[in-house]
């Protein structure tokens, strides 16, 4: 892979050669973070995305949306996005309308229309009120063999329609054990976003989701998450100006997030929010996660 030159910072491509010691790289990366990171404006309004996956039956999704709506008066201080199945988008959208809750989708296709059986266009999603679309989730990469080229085309189209893509990146257990984590993360960021232009109105989310943690109930070390988010930020600096990255891109974490660990994750300036699976399928548990996220 040809190295991409970062704009005014240390080249992140050093990680393509060797991940090296987590501790030494982590120390080095801290030098590259904004001086005012602790006052990062994203920390004041964490992004919380509930990914309902294919877990809930139609009535279960409707009931959950109603319960979340009822509890949403306590969600001030966070941006909360609900991502039901496609079949429940319309009904959930009606339930949460004018509440401050936002509607998201779990995936989309990379064309606005055409003969693509079984797919859904982001243009159609937009008509249902969807503003945010999850792209490249590890379950799609592994189970449906979604490629980097597909993810790139989806991200490009979503942005062109004025919507917000949530581009997921993350390493497998084997890649982690082989010391390839950072190089894998950087390559995924570059493959998904290289050549894409962000205008002043665009917003982008990159979600770090270590595959070996998802659904396992294991906690990832917050220090390692912070390190990885700094790696992602440097990879983004390769592709966009520092101002664009700092002002228009959120980097969030997804991987067995629950009420007990969310505040610890979000206490780090580099973590702007969370992508939640299992803990979002129950209204009480989800509300506890939100409460932990906005806790002073």
Collect all residues with Cβ–Cβ distance below 8 Å to 81 and sequence separation of at least 6.
Answer: 47, 48, 49, 50, 101, 102, 103, 104, 131, 132
Catalytic annotation present for 209: yes
97/94 Cα distance (integer angstroms): 5
| Residues 202 and 211: beta-carbon distance below 8 Å | no
202/249 Cα distance (integer angstroms): 9
| Residues 224 and 22: beta-carbon distance below 8 Å | yes
Report strand pairing: 249-254 vs 273-276: parallel
State the catalytic residue, choosing from 139, 209, 226, 227.
209
Q: Pick from 102, 106, 51, 104: which is nearest to 80 by CA?
A: 102
State the catalytic residue, choosing from 19, 137, 152, 227.
137
Read off φ and ψ for residue 43, nearest 5 degrees.
Answer: -65, -25
Catalytic annotation present for 137: yes
| Residues 173 and 211: beta-carbon distance below 8 Å | yes
228/283 Cα distance (integer angstroms): 30
How do the residues of the chain divide into helix, strand and coil, expressed in percent and rounded to 5? Answer: 45, 15, 40
What residues are annotated to the active site?
A: 137, 209
């Amino acid at each position: 892979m040809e190295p991409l030159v970062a704009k005014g910072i240390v080249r992140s491509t050093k990680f393509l050669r060797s991940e090296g010691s987590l501790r030494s790289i982590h120390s080095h990366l801290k030098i590259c973070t904004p001086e005012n990171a602790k006052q990062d404006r994203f920390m004041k309004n964490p992004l919380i995305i509930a990914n309902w996956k294919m877990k809930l039956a139609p009535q279960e999704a409707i009931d959950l949306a109603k319960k979340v709506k009822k509890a949403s008066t306590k969600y001030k201080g966070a941006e909360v996005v609900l991502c039901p199945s496609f079949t429940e988008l319309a009904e959930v959208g009606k339930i949460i309308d004018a509440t401050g809750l936002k509607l998201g989708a779990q995936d989309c296709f990379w064309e606005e229309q055409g003969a693509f059986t079984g797919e859904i266009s982001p243009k159609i999603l937009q008509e249902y009120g969807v503003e945010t679309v999850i792209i490249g989730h590890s379950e799609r990469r592994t189970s449906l063999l979604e490629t980097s080229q597909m993810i790139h085309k989806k991200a490009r189209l979503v942005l062109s329609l004025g919507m917000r893509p949530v581009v997921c990146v993350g390493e497998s257990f084997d890649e982690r054990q082989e010391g390839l984590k950072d190089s894998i993360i950087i390559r995924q960021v570059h493959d998904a976003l290289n050549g894409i232009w962000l205008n002043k109105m665009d917003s982008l989310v990159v979600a770090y989701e270590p595959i070996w943690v998802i659904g396992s109930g294991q906690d990832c070390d917050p220090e390692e998450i912070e390190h990885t988010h700094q790696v992602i930020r440097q990879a983004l600096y390769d592709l966009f100006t520092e101002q664009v990255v700092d002002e228009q891109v959120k980097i969030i974490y997804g991987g067995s997030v629950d009420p007990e660990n969310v505040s610890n994750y979000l206490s780090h300036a580099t973590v702007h929010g969370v992508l939640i699976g299992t803990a979002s399928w129950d209204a009480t548990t989800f509300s506890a996660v939100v409460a932990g996220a906005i806790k002073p």
